Amino acid sequence: MVIKTSPITTMEGAFSVKGLNVVITGGNRGIGFGIASAFAQSGANVAILCRNPESGKAAAEKLAAYGVTTYAFQADIADLESVKNAAQKVFKVFPSIDVLVNNAGISASVRFLEDENLRQWHEVAATDFHGPANVIYTFAPKIIEGKKGGSIINISSIGGQSVAGTKTHPNIAYHACKAALDNLTKSLAIEFGDYGIRVNSIAPGPTHSDLDKQLPPDAFTKIEERMPMHRFGEPLEIGALCVYLASPAGCHITGTIIVHDGGLLCIG
């Protein structure tokens, strides 16, 4: 049976995600918490998956202030069994899953041949590429089971489309994995389309998050001077785009890589 999502016929409720059940990896901090906040403020219930249970609990408690149901469960997305164990806990509190956001990720600034035994390469790949695959593999069947479609959103990066800064800020594994994630997004959009599930990627550019700590002190000024919008993005802005993609207004958008970078990619 092919599930076709219904087009909007009115703007009333077109951007509403109220009552939806949303699972967000890495939703305890940085961009992930911005995404979780955007959904909670919009009336969606949120389950956070993260490695740090204390941080996850604190984040869930903050989100509960918006009057929605929130949970946090420990999971290492690089470990399929860990994801499966967390999923069983999520399924006990959420009878259905409407939205899945793959946000958790790490990076490593090391030159390729200086990466001893490719240790950092494999660490980044395990989290940034295999991690989303583990999560989708585990949670997508639950969305399909609901027979009402849904939305999977992968948080990629403009680093998946441009490697211009490699000379000064080598991040080869991260760039490679984000490019692979974008292609996985397109492939799964085709595979899941019959189930009414949209699969999209958001590619943030410079956005204030925990990764800020890896930038040299003068990087912020230099980057903002080059950007057409002359400022870094904020996590809640990425969250706002996620809410749009998950809402009825975004029900015909799938297989896309949406850049959210203040125009930086335009200038190379």
CB-CB contact of 260 with 233 (8 Å): yes
- The residue with tokens 């860990």 is 82
Angle between helices 53-64 and 30-41 (to 10 degrees): 30
Cα–Cα distance between 232 and 160 in angstroms, integer? 18
| Annotated catalytic residue, options 66, 71, 137, 174 | 174
Cα–Cα distance between 222 and 203 in angstroms, integer? 21
Any catalytic annotation for residue 71? Answer: no
Hey, which residues are catalytic here?
A: 174
